[in-house]
């Protein structure tokens, strides 16, 4: 065996011939072409060199002692390390049968002796380039398969590759972990029979069946799948058709055990219900607090009609004591008694309506009527703060969907704050309450005062619990207002209007509207009071 290595050795060529003269000619022909050249003068040595160096091209003489070129070729192709080498036979045999035998054993080409240098150079160059490209392609394919395997192995969801009958052809480690058995035991099983208890009744309608049989993608949640031990678990899955040039070859099923997810959702729903209950209790407590602060004013308001009723009753008794009572005047006096009793009844009715705990659910309400009702309710605050309320609401304003008690509580809270802020600034301008339609799905209500305004840093914390700008405030009023308005599908905020003071606003969804929820935004052309 002789080994000669050229300086430029990107491509390796093995020359095999028992005739030293032929080897010399081949070597002289290829030595300056940039190949790494290996030389062997017998079959076994050629096999050893080929196994060690894995040449791209082997020029192989057929007629050799001990082991001819056919056997060498056959053993090269049987060795995984050398199977892809391009074997070019060299022989004086020029009959068709010899060539056919060579090709049948895996030979790539055939050069007849005596060979021509240019022919040898051209054939070697061609086969070397083909083998190099094939090896690069194989390396790239192995790299891609490796990447795919790493990706599939790293996915936490289970993945099945099914044939058109639902037989599992591929399963990733996550699928094996979810199902509680090795991947090898999943391969070859029928997906429907293994994982669905109702398969005995027929496979139609089972998850993934339509994808396998008709190529229709599916996506379902909270289905029940069986593990290998027969235990069940809730799962979500997606199945997509496996296509090759438009022909259906089964489906790829991605699934996951959502037991923990469903438990978290249930816990979250319980927490939401608890928060809602606490929010309702807080809102009710806020109304009771408001009611306590207003009790003295209401006592005075109710006392007025009761005093009037008492006086009118005394007058009526004196008129009836006369020998000839003026029945007409008596009737007018009784009418006044009735009117005053209605007034007292209305005041008590408003108090009871405000005090009651709101029923769950929303209703369609008229914003002008609700704000007028709120304005009347705030008359006590107007007197206490020596202020006024200017209500400006268009008649064609659409109705909104909300809880009227909660919205009235928010509006009353904002109006009371505005009256107090106006009095603290010794201003006499009435508080301006207005409403307008925003787009087609929201109604915006705003309360503008002419008080001293809000601190510069109020934006970030004004609606946070326990933040207050009042000396005796608890800081829960605006926080409660925000919770109440957001529960209606609206939002609440404030602005710093030109001319000082503050402007609080809230939005409510128009009844029957759909689309984006009401969000705070600056209305175009909104009138500042």
Residue 453 β-bridge partners: none
* Continuous segment of H or E residues that includes residue 256: strand 247-257
Structure tokens given for 430: 């009435």
Distance set, CA 43 to CA 28, 49, 109 (Å): 21, 10, 18
Rounded Cα gap, residues 435 and 508, in angstroms: 11
Query: Is the pLDDT at 90 greater than 80, yes or no?
Result: yes
Pairing of strands 158-162, 247-257: antiparallel
What does the pLDDT read at residue 291?
66
Residue 307 backbone phi and psi in degrees, to 5: -65, -40
Q: What is the 3-state secondary structure (H, E, C) of 37-97?
A: EEEECCHHHHHHHHHHHCCCEEEEECCCCCCCHHHHHHHHHHCCCCCCCEEEEEECCCCHH
Which of the residue ranges 6-10, 153-157, 343-347, 375-379 would you say has the lowest mean pLDDT?
6-10
Which SS3 state, helix, strand or coil, does residue 137 take?
Answer: helix
Sign of torsion, CA 470 471 472 476?
positive
Which one has a higher pLDDT value, 322 or 470?
322
pLDDT for 519 equals: 55
Per-residue confidence at 529, pLDDT binned at 50, 70, 90?
Answer: very low
Q: What is the mean pLDDT of residues 20-46?
A: 91
Q: Which of 62, 54, 21, 61 is nearest to 38 (CA)?
A: 54
Q: Which pLDDT does position 46 carry in this prediction?
A: 93
Average pLDDT over residues 360-387: 84
Question: What's 303-347 look like in SS3?
Answer: HHHHHHHHHHHHHHHHHHHCCCCCHHHHHHHHHHHHHHHHHHHHH
Amino acid 361: pLDDT: 61
Nearest to 223 by CA among 191, 176, 255: 255
Q: What mean pLDDT do residues 278-292 have?
A: 72
How does residue 5 score in pLDDT terms, banded at 50, 70 and 90?
very low
Percent of the chain with pLDDT over 70: 87
Q: Tell me the average pLDDT across 208-225.
A: 91
Distances (CA, A) of 340 to 301, 303, 307: 11, 11, 9
Higher model confidence: residue 144 or residue 472?
144
C-alpha–C-alpha distance, residues 292 and 380, integer Å? 13
Strands 2-3 and 35-40 come out as antiparallel
Q: What is the pLDDT of residue 521?
A: 47
Give, as one character, the DSSP assignment of residue 440.
Answer: T
Structure tokens at 50: 């080929």
Coil, strand, or helix at residue 261? Answer: helix
Task: Note the pLDDT of residue 505.
Answer: 94
| pLDDT top residue among 518 and 265 | 265
Best-predicted range by mean pLDDT among 3-17, 352-366, 430-444? Answer: 430-444
Question: Do the Cβ atoms of 484 and 410 come closer than 8 Å?
Answer: yes
pLDDT digit string, tens, across residues 407-460: 888 898 899 889 988 998 888 899 999 999 988 889 999 999 998 888 777 767
With cut-offs at 50, 70 and 90, classify the pLDDT of residue 295: low
pLDDT tens string 101-113:
888 999 998 888 8
Q: Are 449 and 460 in contact (CB under 8 A)?
A: no
Work out whether the CA dihedral 145, 151, 154, 159 comes out positive or negative: negative
Residue 9 has pLDDT above 60, yes or no: no
3-state secondary structure at position 378: coil
Q: What band does 467 get if pLDDT is binned at 50, 70 and 90? A: low
67/71 Cα distance (integer angstroms): 6
Q: Are 56 and 127 in contact (CB under 8 A)?
A: yes
Find tokens 């009723």 and name the residue.
Answer: 309
Selection from 74-88, 92-106, 131-145 with the highest mean pLDDT: 74-88
By three-state DSSP, how is residue 395 classified?
Answer: coil
Mean pLDDT in residue range 163-187: 91
- In this structure, the number of other CB atoms found within 10 A of the CB of residue 393 comes to 19
pLDDT band at 3 (very low <50, low <70, confident <90, very high): very low
Least confident range of 212-216, 231-235, 245-249, 344-348? 344-348
pLDDT for the residue numbered 510 = 92
Looking at residue 172, the DSSP 8-state letter turns out to be: -
Measured between alpha carbons, how far is 257 from 232 in angstroms, rounded to an integer?
Answer: 10
Which of 70-79, 357-366, 416-425 has the highest average model confidence (pLDDT)? Answer: 70-79
pLDDT at 264: 92
- For residue 211, pLDDT over 50 is answered with yes
Residue 425 per-residue DSSP state: T
Q: 3-class DSSP state for residue 438?
A: strand
Residue 175: pLDDT band (50, 70, 90) is very high
Mean pLDDT of the chain: 84
3-state secondary structure of 293: helix
- Summarised one tens digit per residue, pLDDT across range 492-528 is 888 888 888 899 999 999 988 876 667 554 444 333 3
Q: Is 277 helix (H, G, I), strand (E, B) or coil?
A: helix
Separation in Å, CA 431 to CA 80, 251, 378, 417, 475: 93, 68, 11, 10, 22
Mean pLDDT, range 215-221, rounded to an integer: 91
Give the per-residue pLDDT at 74: 93
Over 60: is that where the pLDDT of 226 sits? yes
Tokens of 277: 């209950």
Residue 272 burial (CB count, 10 A) = 10
Please give the average per-residue pLDDT across 32-36, as a whole number: 88
pLDDT in tens, 56-71: 999 999 988 889 999 9
pLDDT score of 69? 92
**Average pLDDT estimate for 80-89:** 91
In the 8-state DSSP scheme, what is residue 510?
A: B
Q: Which residue has the higher pLDDT, 255 or 10?
A: 255
Between 297 and 121, the higher pLDDT residue: 121
Q: Determine the average pLDDT of the residues in 195-207.
A: 84
């Amino acid at each position: 065996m002789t080994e000669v290595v050229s300086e430029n050795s990107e491509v390796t060529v093995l020359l095999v011939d028992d005739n030293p003269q032929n080897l010399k000619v081949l070597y002289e022909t290829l030595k300056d072409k940039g190949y790494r050249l290996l030389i062997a003068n017998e079959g076994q040595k050629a096999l050893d060199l080929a196994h060690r160096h894995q040449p791209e091209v082997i020029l192989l003489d057929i007629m050799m002692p001990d082991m001819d070129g056919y056997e060498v070729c056959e053993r090269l192709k049987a060795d995984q390390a050398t199977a892809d080498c391009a074997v070019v036979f060299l022989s004086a045999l020029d009959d068709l049968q010899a060539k056919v035998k060579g090709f049948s054993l895996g030979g790539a080409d055939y050069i007849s002796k005596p060979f021509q240098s240019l022919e040898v150079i051209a054939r070697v160059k061609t086969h070397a380039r083909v083998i190099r490209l094939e090896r690069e392609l194989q390396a790239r394919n192995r790299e891609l398969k490796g990447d795919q395997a790493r990706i599939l192995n790293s996915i936490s969801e289970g993945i099945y590759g099914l044939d058109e009958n639902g037989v599992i052809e591929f399963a990733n480690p996550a699928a094996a972990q979810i199902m509680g058995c090795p991947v090898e035991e999943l391969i070859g099983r029928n997906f429907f029979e293994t994982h669905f208890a109702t398969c005995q009744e027929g496979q139609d309608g089972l998850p993934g069946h339509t994808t396998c049989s008709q190529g229709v993608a599916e996506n379902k949640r909270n289905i029940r799948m069986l593990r290998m031990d027969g235990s069940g678990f809730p799962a979500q899955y997606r199945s997509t058709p496996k296509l090759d040039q438009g022909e259906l070859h089964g489906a790829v099923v991605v699934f996951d055990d959502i037991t923990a997810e469903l438990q978290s959702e249930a816990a979250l729903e319980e927490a939401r219900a608890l928060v809602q209950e606490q929010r309702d209790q807080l809102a009710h407590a806020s109304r009771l607090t408001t009611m306590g602060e207003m009790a003295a004013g209401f006592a005075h308001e109710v006392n007025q009609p009761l005093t009037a009723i008492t006086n009118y009753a005394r007058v009526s008794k004196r008129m009836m004591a006369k020998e000839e009572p003026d029945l007409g005047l008596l009737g007018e006096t009784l009418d006044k008694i009735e009117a005053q009793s209605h007034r007292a009844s209305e005041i008590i009715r408003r108090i009871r309506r405000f005090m009651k705990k709101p029923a769950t659910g929303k209703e369609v309400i008229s914003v002008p009527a609700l704000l007028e009702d709120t304005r009347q309710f705030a008359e006590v605050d107007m007197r206490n703060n020596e202020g006024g309320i200017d209500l400006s609401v268009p008649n064609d304003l659409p109705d909104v969907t909300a809880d009227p008690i909660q919205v009235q509580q928010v509006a009353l809270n904002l109006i009371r704050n505005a009256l107090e802020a106006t009095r603290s600034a010794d201003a006499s301008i009435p508080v301006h309450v207005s409403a307008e339609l925003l787009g087609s799905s929201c109604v915006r209500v705003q309360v503008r005062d002419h008080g001293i305004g809000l601190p510069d840093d109020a934006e970030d914390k004004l609606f946070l619990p326990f933040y207050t700008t009042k000396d005796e405030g608890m800081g829960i009023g605006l926080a409660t207002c925000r919770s109440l308005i957001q529960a209606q599908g609206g939002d609440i905020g404030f602005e710093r209007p030109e001319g000082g003071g503050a402007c609080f606003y809230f939005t409510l969804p128009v009844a029957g509207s759909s689309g984006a929820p009401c969000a705070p935004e600056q209305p175009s052309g909104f009138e500042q009071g």
